[in-house]
């Protein structure tokens, strides 16, 4: 793995920043869960088929784990993570704007694929750390991931109440855009 930052000179707050980034990315997998009924109603999906929204995101994540994460052994991790995050950004924008159920479901799959950037960033951040602090880095980033998972559902519901479900995916796209910069 090519690491350009000296391991003893990581910026202050680096662990916290990576934990926040990973938490924000993984939240994309769970934003739709509490608002699936509203989404299905707006897009004209049958209520009994609305669960496919969440399922497709998880399937995309699974496929990304199988096909994209192993590429981190051969490609530069930072660039690969950013490229995968672009998929998440495009999926979020599509989910926010589309009125087509088919396009929305494809974007659900793609948001799952885009969320695997977390599994590329975690070992990259550990590799950047001082070997004596790698376990601490992994633990803190995992805490960020779990926090993102736990906060995604209530935040999604809180945003949807006053602003509508599409705003959740606009917020998701904005987060991806900030992370890409």
The answer to whether residue 97 sits within a structural domain is yes
Report how far apart, in Å, the C-alpha atoms of 146 and of each of 36, 141, 151 are: 21, 9, 9
The pLDDT of residue 2: 47
Residues of the chain with pLDDT under 70: 1-9
C-alpha–C-alpha distance, residues 70 and 179, integer Å: 22
For residue 41, count other CB atoms closer than 10 A to its CB: 12
The b-or-e profile of 126-153 (16+ CB within 10 A means b, else e) is bbbbeeeebeebbebbeebbebbeeebb
The answer to whether residue 123 sits within a structural domain is yes
The answer to whether residue 108 sits within a structural domain is yes
The pLDDT of residue 89: 94
The pLDDT of residue 175: 87
Contacts of 71 (CB under 8 A, 6+ apart): 80
In a 10 Å sphere around its CB, with 0-12 CB exposed, 13-18 middle and 19+ buried, how is residue 80 labelled?
Answer: buried
The answer to whether residue 122 sits within a structural domain is yes
The answer to whether residue 8 sits within a structural domain is no
The answer to whether residue 62 sits within a structural domain is yes
The answer to whether residue 163 sits within a structural domain is yes
Return the closest-CA partner of residue 45 out of 180, 127, 165, 140: 165
The pLDDT of residue 9: 67
CATH of the domain at 40: 1.20.1250.20
Residue-number span of the structural domain to which 128 is assigned: 14-180
How many structural domains compose the chain?
Answer: 1
pTM score, two decimals? 0.89
The b-or-e profile of 102-125 (16+ CB within 10 A means b, else e) is eebbbbbbbbbbbbbbbbbbbbbb
Contacts of 154 (CB under 8 A, 6+ apart): 34
């Amino acid at each position: 793995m090519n690491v350009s930052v000296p391991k003893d000179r990581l910026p202050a707050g680096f662990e916290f920043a990576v934990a926040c980034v990973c938490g924000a990315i993984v939240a994309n997998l769970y934003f739709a869960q509490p608002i699936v009924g509203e989404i299905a109603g707006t897009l004209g999906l049958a209520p009994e088929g609305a669960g496919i929204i969440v399922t497709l995101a998880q399937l995309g994540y699974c496929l990304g784990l199988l096909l994209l994460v192993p590429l981190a052994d051969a490609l530069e991790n930072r660039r690969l993570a950013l490229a995968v995050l672009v998929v998440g950004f495009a999926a979020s924008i599509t989910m926010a704007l589309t009125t087509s159920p088919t396009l929305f479901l494809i974007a659900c799959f793609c948001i799952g694929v885009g969320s695997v950037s977390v599994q590329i960033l975690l070992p990259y951040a550990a590799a950047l750390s001082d070997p004596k602090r790698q376990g601490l880095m992994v633990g803190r980033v995992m805490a960020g991931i779990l926090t993102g998972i736990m906060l995604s559902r209530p935040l999604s519901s809180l945003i949807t109440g006053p602003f509508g479900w599409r705003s959740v995916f606009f917020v998701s796209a904005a987060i991806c855009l900030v992370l890409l910069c």
